A and B are shown apart, each in its own frame.
Chain A
Amino acid sequence: MSHSAPTLPPGLPLPAAANRRRTRRADAWLPYLLSLPALLVCIGILVPFVTALWYSLQRYNLAMPFTRGFIGLEHYQEFLSDPAFWNTLRVSAVFTLATVGVELLLGLGIALLLWRRSRVNDAAAVVLLLPLMTAPALASLMWKLMTNPGFGVLAWAAAQVGAGDFRWASAPSSAMFTVVLVDVWVYTPFMVILLLAGLRSLPPQPFEAARLDGVPAHFVLLRITLPMLAPFLLTATLFRTLDSIQQFDIVYAMTQGGPGDALMVFQVQAYLEFFQYTNVGRSAALLVVLWAVTYALSRLFIRHWMRLRQGGRAHG
């Protein structure tokens, strides 16, 4: 430490050197310089975001540019009495609850099944990655081929068990079931690998103690495993909820929101509002409502996530 470094390492409390003032200043702007490009990208995202907020307060239809003007909260007021809006809200809620619910239960079950390390279990965990790494839009196409009424293997199988009139995504009554099925196929593995990572990071002592005491398995699951797994369950559920509520790819690739308005989730509805009806203002307002919901949820998530980051380095 006898010689003074030409520039002072950041965060290192060296004794004051002769050139301390100058280097301090250099170090002060270094982090800003390094993060400048990322900041610019941030601004690049924030500008269109603010623009969208602004559009949502305007009457703005690309087909009728001359009627453009500020209308305040009119779009939002219209939503309150608009059956299409309530349908969107209902469809999005059903889709989100169904997908996250099924994926959580199924994912937890599979994770418990694969908990113990063995060659078979590890191989199965790898196989489960494949649906998750398939582009969701392409996954929809795959299921579309399999449920095609003309030759689809699933349509044929349904007919064999006496459900020949089950029309999968092309009937309003079964369209939701079909897209939920595709979502479950793609994203259950997400739950599995997160929960599996959680299970395998748990300390073994409580489980050994329970085994020695002859505690019944269901009691261990409810009183030991699940409480200890809670942070991971919360992380996985929040992640999936935030993504599910915004699902676009699977629904759009499958039916573009149809048949009728059976699958008009938020982003699909907003997409059609923009590109089919060129109604920019209304489309933006719809997305702002969705954003408000996800923002509230993501605050919750980020707070939880920060706790994991600070306290939970132990989850390694």
Chain B
Amino acid sequence: MADLVLRVLRGLALALVLVFFLFPIVWILLMSFQTNETILRLPPSLAFDPTLANYKALLTGTMETSSGTLQVTFLRNLGNSVLLASLSVGLSLLLGVPAAYAFARFRFRLGEDIAFTLLSFRFAPPLLVLLPLSLYFNELGLADTYAGLIWVYQLICLPLVLWIVRSHFEEAGVEVENAYRLDGHSWWAGFRKVAIPLAMPGIAAAGLLAFIFAWNNFVFALILASADKQPVTVGALAFVTASGIQYGQIAAAIVLSILPTLALALYAQRWLVEGLSLGAVKG
């Protein structure tokens, strides 16, 4: 009997947890398929005729309102997010994988210094670096350029790549590589043909996670990018101000903005623990 009560209580607790964490996403998803009329209805109701008008407005770039036609740049924000996140991850893999290899295979002072400097900046207030950069960027001609943003995004991507890929190089061990090199191959061949394939799961995981974090970043672009370079996180906020009361479109914009990372997260779930803790905890 007591056992049954306990099981019911557990089930109830689990249901409450799921409702709390899922409800906002489900609610916004429902909102995105509604017109303003049904959104503004009180009490809120699930009875509505789903419409794709909100998504259509976002994707075609024009929004019909009572006061005329509005231009929507949201598609551009979406494109910016794709561009910024993928190029940043690409660059951080290019820079980070060789460095991670060096840190894993050689014991040298500089390596530890770099690794820990980057790690400690993972925990430093981003504005501390961003505010001086916003002044520098004007002088360097990097202000409001994709290149400048991608460089700053390394602050998010590079520590992730370094620490995760390094631990995978360490785990793969040096034995296979040494055997390969004793056959007369150069270290470069060993790196490319043995070390990288062995560490590939780690490299893929780091890349996926870096993409998610770059996509979700808000503050870098808020400070360094003007409207035409902004990713969805900043764009959605501006969109709220600009569109005023077009709640259906706002909801649709949020859905389109979070969908890619949610989908990737489901795909990358088995590496998330490791990635979120920078390798401190293994999943």
Q: Are A138 and B128 in contact (CB under 8 A)?
A: no
B187 / chain A contacts, CB cutoff of 8 Å: 7, 9-10, 27, 30
Please give me the residue from chain A that is nearest to B96 by CB atom: A38
B87 CB, nearest partner CB in chain A, Å: 15
A52 / chain B contacts, CB cutoff of 8 Å: 128-129, 131-132
Q: Is A1 an interface residue (CB 8 A)?
A: yes
Please give me the residue from chain A that is nearest to B120 by CB atom: A298
A1 / chain B contacts, CB cutoff of 8 Å: 182
Q: Are A156 and B14 in contact (CB under 8 A)?
A: no
Q: Is A197 an interface residue (CB 8 A)?
A: yes
Q: Are A287 and B127 in contact (CB under 8 A)?
A: yes
Given A134-B25, A156-B44, A315-B282: A35 touches B131 (CB 8 Å cut-off):
no
Q: Are B18 and A124 in contact (CB under 8 A)?
A: yes
Q: Are B158 and A134 in contact (CB under 8 A)?
A: no
Q: Is A146 an interface residue (CB 8 A)?
A: yes
A46 / chain B contacts, CB cutoff of 8 Å: 117
B22 / chain A contacts, CB cutoff of 8 Å: 127, 130
Q: Is A97 an interface residue (CB 8 A)?
A: no
Alpha-carbon distance A139/B218, docked complex (angstroms): 12
Q: Is B68 an interface residue (CB 8 A)?
A: no
User: Number of residues in A with C-beta < 8 Å to the partner?
Assistant: 101
Given A5-B182, A135-B261, A156-B42: A305 touches B280 (CB 8 Å cut-off):
yes
Q: Are B254 and A129 in contact (CB under 8 A)?
A: no
**How many of chain B's residues touch chain A, expressed as a range?**
35 or more
Q: Are B266 and A129 in contact (CB under 8 A)?
A: yes
Q: Which residues of A from 103 to 131 have beta carbons under 8 Å from B? A: 109-110, 113-114, 120, 124, 126-131
Q: Are A193 and B273 in contact (CB under 8 A)?
A: yes
A315 CB, nearest partner CB in chain B, Å: 6
Stretch from B53-61, B104-112, B197-205 that touches the partner: B104-112
Q: Is B4 an interface residue (CB 8 A)?
A: no
Q: Which of A197, A232, A236 has the most CB of B within 10 A?
A: A197
Given A138-B254, A150-B40: A126 touches B216 (CB 8 Å cut-off):
no
Q: Which residues of B from 80 to 138 have beta carbons under 8 Å from A? A: 94-96, 98-99, 101-103, 105-106, 108, 110-111, 114, 116-121, 123-133, 135-136
Given A55-B132, A127-B18: A138 touches B265 (CB 8 Å cut-off):
no
Q: Is B212 an interface residue (CB 8 A)?
A: yes
Q: Is B269 an interface residue (CB 8 A)?
A: yes
* Contact string against A for B residues 4-37, beta-carbon threshold 8 Å, 1 for contact and 0 otherwise: 0000001001100110111011011001000000
Q: Is B63 an interface residue (CB 8 A)?
A: no
B136 / chain A contacts, CB cutoff of 8 Å: 48, 51
B62 CB, nearest partner CB in chain A, Å: 22
B202 CB, nearest partner CB in chain A, Å: 13
Given A7-B187, A124-B18: A135 touches B257 (CB 8 Å cut-off):
yes
Q: Is B39 an interface residue (CB 8 A)?
A: yes
Binding site for A on B (CB under 8 A): 10, 13-14, 17-18, 20-22, 24-25, 27-28, 31, 39-44, 94-96, 98-99, 101-103, 105-106, 108, 110-111, 114, 116-121, 123-133, 135-136, 151, 154-155, 158, 162, 167, 174, 177-178, 181-182, 184, 186-187, 190, 212, 215-219, 222-223, 232-234, 236-237, 240, 247, 250-251, 254, 257-258, 261-262, 264-266, 269, 272-273, 276-283
Write 27 A-B pairs (CB below 8 A) sorted by A numbering.
A6-B184, A9-B181, A9-B190, A11-B174, A32-B102, A37-B95, A37-B99, A38-B96, A42-B114, A48-B130, A49-B128, A51-B132, A55-B132, A113-B17, A128-B17, A129-B272, A130-B25, A133-B216, A136-B216, A145-B250, A146-B24, A193-B283, A232-B281, A239-B276, A252-B219, A294-B125, A295-B123
Inter-chain pairs besides A9-B174, A145-B247, A295-B123, 4 sampled, C-beta below 8 Å: A124-B14, A139-B24, A194-B276, A270-B131
> What 7 pairs across the A-B complex have the smallest Cβ distances?
A135-B216, A34-B102, A38-B99, A31-B106, A133-B265, A48-B132, A137-B218
